[in-house]
Copies of this chain bind each other. A is one copy, B any other.
């Protein structure tokens, strides 16, 4: 039905298998820094117009692959599709972030919340199918979702926040309400990711973008515990293939050991973490993904080369002295900035490939 995969370096690195080079993709690689993306978005009329149309989503998902030698594609979508399907009313005002019309503020709001009918998210699964077809086996396709906690932050705050006052007030003052939201989110996210896998996603990533704002103790109870529930419910095999699962907690450095024990195949790291130390800490539990500061891409190409090599050198040659392989997937430690000069991404991708081949030869 679907074409065999021509480049499986990403999937192999996720599973800690040998690869000829370090695979690379970039969070938000289909995005505003690309002129062709801005052109498609203008045609779509709005961000939601773009995200809810399988044809447009396919078009923008493939755009960065035509420019750069990336080793994976990631579904073009938004992490807030799930709460939108729960009836919270997602909108994107011009020049502002996402906003929910009906955030969860009162006990009644929480009581009414339920796992949405996945049929409401059919546009996402249709996009996955359409992208797989368009990819024609070039590289694997990653599906994704926000984590239960990260979705919960937006659902209570109603928008982005700089202090998370509303959601943390609910968490500390009414943990029963917060746990109910998170239980529903965990079930919804598991169903959502499984439906993406069913539709053709070859790996899935859980973005715990706001896990890092929690206190030690609260992180384990309100973020990690529910991410674990999702991971446990995922269909990790599909069509005879292992479906790797990546968990990325922005600011999760302090809890790396616990995150590595979640049951995921890959842990994403932001740039505050030393990749060499992280590799030693996680041992053979998981592969690692990351972790260049996206702001490096504002520097001239010669500086980008040096910084990319530094990240690869810190991880070191992926094959260990005992012959087994550790996995590294090169990525940024956060989404690529809309202000990034698009030609700088060529330098990044080409340096990852060239230098990681050299590292393998030298080892």
Chain B residue contacts of A164, Cβ below 8 A: 295
Chain B residue contacts of A272, Cβ below 8 A: 212, 214-216, 219, 251, 254
Which positions 295-320 of chain A face chain B at CB distance < 8 Å? Answer: 295-296, 298-300, 303, 307, 310
CA distance A272 to B295 in the complex (A): 24
Chain B residue contacts of A254, Cβ below 8 A: 253-254, 272-274
Chain B residue contacts of A275, Cβ below 8 A: 216
CA distance A227 to B188 in the complex (A): 47
The answer to whether B219 and A172 touch across the interface, beta carbons within 8 angstroms, is no
Answer whether residue A271 sits at the interface, using C-beta atoms and an 8 A cutoff.
yes
Answer whether residue A92 sits at the interface, using C-beta atoms and an 8 A cutoff.
no
A268-288: contact bitstring with B at CB < 8 Å (1 yes, 0 no)? Answer: 000111110000000000000
Answer whether residue A165 sits at the interface, using C-beta atoms and an 8 A cutoff.
yes
Count A interface residues, CB 8 Å.
36
With A251-B272, A254-B253, A274-B254 as given contacts, are A295 and B219 in contact (CB-CB < 8 Å)?
A: no
Q: Which residue of B lies closest to A307 (CB)?
A: B172
CA distance A254 to B333 in the complex (A): 15
Answer whether residue A293 sits at the interface, using C-beta atoms and an 8 A cutoff.
yes
Distance from A185 Cβ to chain B, minimum over Cβ atoms (Å): 20
A-B contact pairs, 14 of them (CB 8 A): A165-B295, A172-B299, A173-B303, A212-B272, A214-B293, A215-B271, A215-B291, A215-B292, A216-B272, A217-B274, A218-B293, A251-B251, A251-B272, A254-B254
